[in-house]
Amino acid sequence: LLSLTAALLWGMLPVALKELLAGMSASTIVWYRFLVAGVVLLIWLGARGQLPKLTKVNSRIRWFLAIAAIGLSSNYYLFSFSLNFINGETSEAVIQLTTLFLIIGGVLIYKEPFVGIQKIGTALIVLGLILFFNDRLSELANTDNTETIGVLIVVAAAITWTVYALLQKRLLLNYSSVQILFLIYWFSIFALLPFI
């Protein structure tokens, strides 16, 4: 049920972002997303006495947190910005590369097993993307085309999200997922402030 809810919300996101981009910049939209989520998590974690402490981890973990924050905020920004060039359907199709990149990263970095069902799922993702873009492959080869620019921006967004997700797995040894997101949101709020 939670996965279906998340899928529904992610499906609606490009439509809402496309409308918002008519009135504000991608960096401003992303900043508001982080601000609202950051304030909610501040209240939630504060009320439970679970606010994370950066002083209790070594500098390597703090670097991982910073890189993960850059990855997630870049992902949010790039995905939103791409909608200036492509439609929501295309952005949603291309962002599915995150799953493929995460599988590859998990196998290469964390030495996770790559079992039969994952191979089938990976093949279906690749096949789906080929079918989605098969009538537009010649157009996408042209770098002067705005759709090509938009697709490349979404690919970059998928890569930055994968960096965040792979680092999150390591960070879960020190913090809960909610604490990680709290730290990333507040890092991003201050990092994006000059660009809103």
Distance (Å, whole) CA 82 – CA 147: 9
Separation of first and last alpha carbons in the chain: 35
| Residue 24 CB partners (closer than 8 Å, separation 6+) | none
pLDDT at residue 27 in the model = 94
Q: What is the pLDDT of residue 163?
A: 96
Mean pLDDT taken over the chain: 90
Task: Examine the pLDDT at 167 and tell me if it is beyond 80.
Answer: yes
How far apart CA 153 and CA 84 sit, in angstroms, is: 10
Q: Which of the four pLDDT bands, split at 50, 70 and 90, describes residue 140? A: low
Does the pLDDT at position 99 exceed 90? no
Q: How many angstroms separate the CA atoms of 76 and 70, rounded?
A: 10
pLDDT digits (tens, 9 = 90+) for 126-137: 888 888 777 766
pLDDT at 139 over 70: no
Per-residue pLDDT at 141: 66
CA angle in degrees (0–180, nearest 5) for 68-65-82: 20
Helix, strand, coil shares of the chain, percent, nearest 5, are 80, 0, 20
Q: Does the pLDDT value for residue 142 go beyond 80? A: no
166 pLDDT band, cuts 50/70/90, is very high
Which value, in Å, is the radius of gyration of the alpha carbons in the chain?
18
Write the pLDDT tens digit of every residue in 2-47: 889 988 988 898 889 989 999 999 999 999 999 999 999 999 999 9
Model confidence at 143, pLDDT cuts 50, 70, 90, reads: low
pLDDT digits (tens, 9 = 90+) for 55-70: 889 999 999 999 999 9
Q: How confident is the model at residue 100 (pLDDT cuts 50, 70, 90)?
A: confident
- CA pair distance 193, 15, nearest whole angstrom: 25
